[in-house]
């Protein structure tokens, strides 16, 4: 994925006085990748939001999470691929907006890499998937379209567009 363009999020007139700086994409990637918990928001077929906490990994500029294809969020994604993924912090957030697809069987190298990343992050919490765990579904790939982030809202709110 190419480097994103950087701008300010849209704010109504008078909402924010004079931000001083922008965040760097590598800093935001690191923060997003290091998180343990993510909030994944999908849209139900009757257009209501559905939010669920998930574990996940950031690999090759995509966010991956897993779970049963029978879950509400997985079923939502069949009819509407739009997704938002948010870290736990409201003070220093990273908000990814993009599109999600279910991967029926990830390429073997990708499956190995995702399993390794999950194991590094979650083994101490009891989760170490094998690369073939998703051969029959249950792995989801989010491709970012925009990412909003800041470390201090009045100083550095930044929008990354892909």
Output phi, psi for 23, to 5 deg. -80, 155
Distance CA 8, CA 160 (A): 8
Does residue 72 carry a pLDDT above 90? yes
**In the chain, what is the straight-line distance between the N-terminal and C-terminal CA atoms, in Å?**
8
Total number of domains constituting the chain: 1
Say if residue 12's pLDDT is above 70: yes
State the pairing for strand pair 139-149/94-103. Answer: antiparallel
The domain in which residue 71 lies consists of 21-150
The CATH number of whichever domain residue 34 belongs to comes to 2.30.110.10
Position 7 in a domain:
no
Is residue 136 a part of any domain in this protein? yes
Per-residue confidence band for 104, with pLDDT thresholds at 50, 70 and 90: confident
The string of pLDDT tens digits covering residues 126-135 is: 999 999 999 8
- Report, as an integer, the average pLDDT of 81-109: 94
Instruction: Tell me how far CA of residue 96 lies from CA of 41, 60, 116, in angstroms.
Output: 10, 15, 23
The pTM of this model reads: 0.94
pLDDT of 1 strictly over 80: no
Over residues 100-117, the mean pLDDT reads 92
**For residue 104, is it within any domain?**
yes
Check residue 14 and give its pLDDT. Answer: 84
Look at residue 2 and tell me whether its pLDDT is greater than 80.
Answer: no
Q: What is the DSSP letter of 105?
A: S
Give the model's confidence band at 106: pLDDT under 50 very low, under 70 low, under 90 confident, else very high.
confident
pLDDT of residue 158: 98
**Which residues does 75 contact at the CB level (< 8 Å), separation at least 6?**
69
54 inside domain: yes
């Amino acid at each position: 994925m190419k480097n994103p363009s950087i701008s300010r999020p849209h704010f109504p007139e008078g909402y924010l006085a004079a931000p001083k700086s922008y965040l760097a994409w590598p800093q935001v990637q690191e923060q997003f990748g290091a998180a343990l918990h993510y909030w994944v928001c999908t849209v139900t077929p009757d257009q209501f939001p559905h939010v669920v906490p998930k574990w996940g990994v950031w690999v090759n500029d995509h966010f991956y999470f897993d779970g049963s294809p029978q879950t509400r969020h997985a079923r939502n994604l069949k009819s509407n691929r739009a997704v938002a993924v948010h870290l736990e912090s409201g003070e220093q957030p990273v908000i990814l907006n993009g599109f999600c697809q279910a991967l029926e069987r990830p390429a073997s190298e990708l499956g190995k890499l995702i399993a390794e990343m999950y194991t590094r992050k979650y083994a101490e919490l009891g989760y170490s998937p094998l690369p073939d765990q998703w051969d029959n579904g249950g792995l989801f790939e989010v491709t970012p379209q925009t990412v909003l982030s800041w470390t201090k809202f009045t100083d550095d709110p930044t929008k990354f567009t892909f």
